[in-house]
Amino acid sequence: MRLVHRQTAAIMSGWTTPSANLRFVLALCLAIALLPSPGAARMAFEKLTDFDFAGTTYYSVKNLSLYECQGWCREEADCQAAAFSFVVNPLSPSQETHCQLQNDSSAHNPSAAPQRSANMYYMVKLQLRSENVCHRPWAFERVPNKIIRGLDNALIYTSTKEACLSACLNEKRFVCRSVEYDYNNMKCVLSDSDRRSSGQFVQLVDAQGTDYFENLCLKPAQACKNNRSFAVARVGVSEEKVAQYVGLHYYTDKELQVTSESACRLACEIETEFLCRSFLYLGQPQGSQYNCRLFHLDHKTLPDGPSTYLNHERPLIDHGEPIGQYFENACEKTTSPPGTLDKLDTLPVSLDTTEDPNLTNITRNDVNCDKTGTCYDVSVHCKDTRIAVQVRTNKPFNGRIYALGRSETCNIDVINSDAFRLDLTMAGQDCNTQSVTGVYSNTVVLQHHSVVMTKADKIYKVKCTYDMSSKNITFGMMPIRDPEMIHINSSPEAPPPRIRILDTRQREVETVRIGDRLNFRIEIPEDTPYGIFARSCVAMAKDARTSFKIIDDDGCPTDPTIFPGFTADGNALQSTYEAFRFTESYGVIFQCNVKYCLGPCEPAVCEWNMESFESLGRRRRRRAIEG
């Protein structure tokens, strides 16, 4: 299994139960950047889409990523703004970009008028007095000379725009989703609504001298007042034309390889590095190509809105790549009551009250709760092409929900959520839904652990019965407590390893300075009979264009002065090194091949500068388990 964490990453649909011959490839991204200076004010950025301000450019560079361009401006004390643009080329595998760092910008002048500029992101450095400034590339989206009428929650007066934005981040009475600042009257308006809010008429109107800002430090669950969903963009333009425009003109914030459209949707829903507004699913993966693109943009972000797609001409050259399916964040009008699910496309449903005879002596309360005190309200919704299994819990749940026997292709990872859903496809083999004369059935597992099934987990048999003549649909659902459904073997399971990078105080780190002394650890639980070894470790730049091997195929360090060999620390491997980065990248990705031994692994005997030393990279010959 390849587990990668970086700006462009591959995500897998789920873990599979490991065995003794399991082979893991682990990877971790460690950002190398300057840490913010202590003090009341914190550095943040506002971003404008398809706008440009006049400024003095002191440094210009091509083919950086959007996040590298912003990172350079963040690191440079003289940089006041960064202008990032890209050229659309359908025949190029990547967009040609241009990054300009400015030490003077008219964006700080309230009377300055920005110019329209296609495929441009303009980022302005700010100092905000708030502890709630998020660790994202930008904290606010700015729309010049615009307001939303009649949706104000609070009105205050502040001497600066920065103080107004800080007030939004510090607001505790309601979720501040947008801000309007009147520079002439120093009037600051806070609102829990934004351009995507539903239930009322929302429209940006002209207001000279007042700018509109949207809070991009919101958590994914706060993006909408009520329920958040994803749907095809209804903008009066064909879906194909919208998807084609998005594929060419939207800057891709993150790329992934996923097994289905629902997995791509989930990746956007749970994304935390930026506020994901939309995604483009390119169909089933082909080889190692990414087929899921995540964006912080949607049609609401574009200055011309839906007309942007209408005025777009098709490219003269077709590169032959799939156009894909484009979905946008949509805020629902009202909060759905428990047990309901997108009623507009739900077929009539009635409950089949037939109970499993094995459950006659078990009360309903007992069967729907586990020993941890977590109770499950599971409902089934019979659709025309899928069975939707909706789960609500009385406390946040962490784990997985999947179709029994299809844990890799039909699953959802649940992270600290009390409401989640699994869609069981009725056709194909992804979910292996069985059908006999109009009755579709499947078995769903609610599992706490990412790998191992235990008796605390829940197994539900679900079915939908479709009567084509009268259109009546019934479903039955019954928890299964048959111990035979859970296979417990005497052989111990090989646990999944994990990577941690610690500082000298043994605290996990994400952002460090060059030269910081760090402890790189690969860990498995102490109560396992297995040992591990690591070899074929590679350090890569964030864009994966530059790399070098730090641990060779035998488990020996290629240059111990940069990255020493691994030593044992209990069941873990560790190496102490000093933080480094590549010349053109602010992030480093580490990738290692990790295998198991039964008992401690025999270290490799390595040589460096005519001296021999040991490194835990070679398998123990007698008791090694081949991968």
What are the pLDDT digits (tens) for 537-579?
Answer: 888 877 667 788 898 888 899 988 888 988 988 888 899 998 8
Domains 2-32+497-615 and 139-218 share a fold: no
Give dist(CA 505, CA 519) in Å, integer: 10
Can you list the positions of beta strands (E) in 65-203?
A: 81-87, 96-105, 115-128, 140-143, 146-148, 154-157, 178-182, 187-191
- Tokens, residue 417: 């959520």
Give dist(CA 520, CA 536) in Å, integer: 15
How many Cα atoms sit within 13 Å of 11 on the Cβ side? 26
Report the relative pairing of strands 530-541 and 547-551 from DSSP bridges. Answer: antiparallel
Q: Which residues contact 303 (CB under 8 A, 6 or more apart)?
A: 49, 50, 51, 116, 143
* pTM score over 0.75: no
Cα angle: 192, vertex 193, 198; to 5 degrees:
135
Confidence of residue 318 (pLDDT cuts 50, 70, 90): low
Instruction: Render pLDDT for 67-78 as a digit per residue (tens, 0 to 9).
Output: 889 999 999 999
- CATH class for domain 2-32+497-615? mainly beta
Q: For position 12, what pLDDT does the model report? A: 32
Dihedral angle sign, alpha carbons of residues 359, 361, 364, 366? negative
Q: Where are the domains of the chain?
A: 2-32+497-615, 139-218, 228-331, 343-485
CATH number of this structure's domain 139-218, picked from the four choices 3.50.4.10, 2.60.120.620, 3.40.50.920, 3.10.50.40:
3.50.4.10
Burial bucket for residue 45 (CB in 10 Å: 0-12, 13-18, 19+): buried
Instruction: Render pLDDT for 515-531 as a digit per residue (tens, 0 to 9).
Output: 889 998 888 887 776 78
Q: Regarding predicted confidence, which is higher, 81 or 434?
A: 81
Q: For position 334, what pLDDT does the model report? A: 56
Report the relative pairing of strands 204-206 and 146-148 from DSSP bridges. Answer: antiparallel
Span between the terminal Cα atoms of the chain, in Å? 12
The mean pLDDT value of the chain amounts to: 77
Which of the residue ranges 88-92, 242-246, 306-310, 472-476 has the most confident prediction, judged by mean pLDDT? 242-246
Confidence of residue 366 (pLDDT cuts 50, 70, 90): low
Q: How many percent of the chain have pLDDT more than 70? A: 75
Comparing CA positions, the residue from 580, 619, 551 lying closest to residue 31 is 580
